[in-house]
Structure 1
Amino acid sequence: MPKNHYEVLGITRDATPDQIKKAYRKLARKFHPDVSKEADAEIKMQAINVAYDTLSNEEKKAEYDFELDHPEAFYQPGANTGTDGFDNANFYGQGFNQQGYSGFSGFEDLFGRFGSGFGGENYQYQKQQRQQRSYRGEDQHASIEVDVAIAYHGSTQQITLQIPTLNAFGEPEVQRKTLQVKIPKGMKEGQQIRLAGQGQTGMNDGKNGDLYIEIHYKDSDKIRVEGADIYYTINVAPWEAALGQNIETSTPEGTKVQVNLPKNAKTGQQLRLKGKGIPCKTPGHLFLVLNIVYPAAQNEHEQQAYQAFAEAFSAFKPRNA
């Protein structure tokens, strides 16, 4: 049985806009054809994009929920339905006679029966008026992941997106679009770039909508970005941590800094470098997260060194610490 848009995103109908966005991001990172190894990744990504385009738009979501709540008005058993159960063939055909709706003759009659609020007797006139008017294309949204170094230096990236849109017949489809995107330095995690006129195409000579690209930075075992702050894990030797030595370390910016470790520093301890995070209007901070690593004893001399270390700290009981 085809999945509806909520099932595609793995959410419930009472999901908040933020939950919808988070679900989309998670699936986009998993099934984007540029990173996914699954054979049907592109097909799944198309369904994910269409689902998000519908559920992230308040008006589209309301219309879609109405369709789900009134399947008898949109669905006919045995018909050629779409992924959400909507009967495209019969909806625009000669009605729902197999279900007993003998008075229906298609799209106009269906909405005419609902009364003047949906057009009623004025439907044909309103339809003609709509056909003569120009409509601006809808704004569209996409997200990309980039290396954190771009936050410090900026970059121009060529990206390929799969964007839900409408074709010349007003039918939904997924468009593959390749763009050159200039990412300025100082972009915070989750901040958007607006590309004017790159959204959905306008109708009847209407202006195109805009495309908003949301920037996300790639997480790794060493780097995590929160807003304008960056958490960067660095390895330190046991004696550096114990003695509080001065060390040199690289930064996500690609530079070197000198850092004084506190004596008896521990794994997980954070050192804040004020204003060394993402260089936006109010610069973020760079947090160095300490990770103490121990060298392997690979020869007799090194084993003796560890033995001497153990004897020097014979009173230390790590399981009791």
Structure 2
Amino acid sequence: MAKNYYEELGVSRDASADEIKKSYRKLARKYHPDVSKEADAEAKMQAINVAYDTLSDATKKAEYDQMLDHPQGFSGFGQGAGGFNQGGGGFDGSQFYRQSSGDGADFSGFEDLFGRFGSGFGGGQQRSQRQQRSYKGEDQHASIQVDLDIAYHGSTQQITLQIPTYNVYGEPEVQRKTLEVKIPKGMKEGQQIRLNGQGQSGINGGENGDLYIEIQYKDTDRIRVEGADVYQTIDVSPWEAGLGQSIEVNTPAGHLKLNLPKNAKNGQQLRLKDKGIPNKTAGHLYLIINIVLPPAHSEQEQQAYQQFADAFVSFRPRAS
């Protein structure tokens, strides 16, 4: 009994597009004639290609489902060998496929699968002419974390990446790449560097894909980055905050001198314009005030706190 397309791919009729594609890829890796040891690999590969070409196309799939639900309305299909079996719901698919696509050899699903594999497949004797075509390798993406200092000065770094890919048998594996990467100054958090030809290898002499490296900056307990803006927590004393004194601060933008506002509050942000990452549109540096109380160990230090308390006798920190 001939299988219908869903049975051919091993999925249910309510399978999602992703589930159909995943099942097709699994079967294609198993039955591709260049790597499969199955006796009927070539015929099986053709069958699953026909099934996938129909079920991966929303219009073709709708027509096919209509045919399955109303087989009497499609009596003209499959009258040859195999054909549509009204008793068991089987369908050989060849005539339906030709009507839907206009070309019985246009297996777009097959191209979609093997156009994504890193190294292609060996030169099997049973390849079709379509399989002999060259395809560009897939672009790959990776993310690296670097010190924020690089955003202000740039750097050339050697990095080792572990990139998921497929081997020549269509099996997933991790590929290690060691590359020298020039990181220009001014890159915002999340921006990418493109390395031409460093992606997956092309198939049958096709060009390699590109590698895109996303830049992330290392956060610390004091500094974080958002786009081109930098946020840094700075410690100040109660008298510096209360009197609005001038202080010096080490920042990613260098050693800076600034005047605190009088009666500065804990958590208050001070914006230093264009002192963030020096991008084409420069970011800002936000200094977040953290008021630090000194410990009172000696008698003199304790007396100083008592004088402070006497001076602020009306202050009620827990007043409702």
Q: 1:112 aligns with which of 50, 56, 61?
A: 50
Distance 2:106 2:294 in 1: 79
Over the matched positions of the two proteins, sequence identity in percent amounts to 61
Change (3 A) 1:292 1:85: farther
Q: Any residues of structure 2 matched to 1:51-66 within 5 Å, and which?
A: 66=17
Distance 1:119 1:171 in 2: 33
Could you tell me which amino acid in structure 1 is paired with residue 154 of structure 2?
G
Q: Secondary structure at the match of 1:112?
A: helix
> Which residue number in structure 2 is paired with residue 250 of structure 1?
250
> Which residue number in structure 1 is paired with residue 140 of structure 2?
140
Q: Name segments (4+ residues, structure 1) moved above 6 Å.
A: 84-87
> Which residue number in structure 2 is paired with residue 165 of structure 1?
165
> Which residue number in structure 1 is paired with residue 238 of structure 2?
238
> Which residue number in structure 1 is paired with residue 68 of structure 2?
none
Q: Any residues of structure 2 matched to 1:190-229 within 5 Å, and which?
A: 190-229=190-229
Could you tell me which amino acid in structure 2 is paired with residue 157 of structure 1?
Q
Q: Secondary structure at the match of 1:143?
A: strand
Q: Secondary structure at the match of 2:193?
A: strand
RMSD of aligned Cα (Å): 3.0
Could you tell me which amino acid in structure 2 is paired with residue 146 of structure 1?
V
Distance 1:69 1:178 in 2: 36
Pairwise CA distance, 1:173:
2.1
Pairwise CA distance, 1:137:
0.7
Change (3 A) 1:299 1:89: same
Range with bigger deviation, 131-140 or 182-191? 131-140
Distance 1:135 1:120 in 2: 21
Flag the structure with higher helix content: 1
> Which residue number in structure 1 is paired with residue 299 of structure 2?
300
Distance 1:315 1:85 in 2: 76
Distance 2:130 2:17 in 1: 22
Change (3 A) 1:307 1:118: farther
What CA deviation, in whole Å up to 9, does each residue of 1:16-49 have, x standing for no partner? xxxxxxxxxxxxxxxxxxxxxxxxxxxxxxxxxx
Change (3 A) 1:311 1:90: same
> Which residue number in structure 2 is paired with residue 9 of structure 1?
none
Equivalent residues of 1:112, 1:120 under 8 A apart: no
Structure 2: tracts of 5 or more residues without a match: 1-14, 55-96, 112-126
Equivalent residues of 2:31, 2:45 under 8 A apart: no
Pairwise CA distance, 1:110:
2.3
Distance 2:20 2:206 in 1: 33
Change (3 A) 1:163 1:70: closer
Structure exhibiting the larger radius of gyration computed from Cα positions: 2
Structure 1: tracts of 5 or more residues without a match: 1-63, 75-83, 96-103
Pairwise CA distance, 1:151:
0.4
Change (3 A) 1:265 1:286: same
Pairwise CA distance, 1:262:
0.4
Range with bigger deviation, 268-277 or 107-116? 107-116
Distance 1:189 1:87 in 2: 40
Pairwise CA distance, 1:68:
2.3
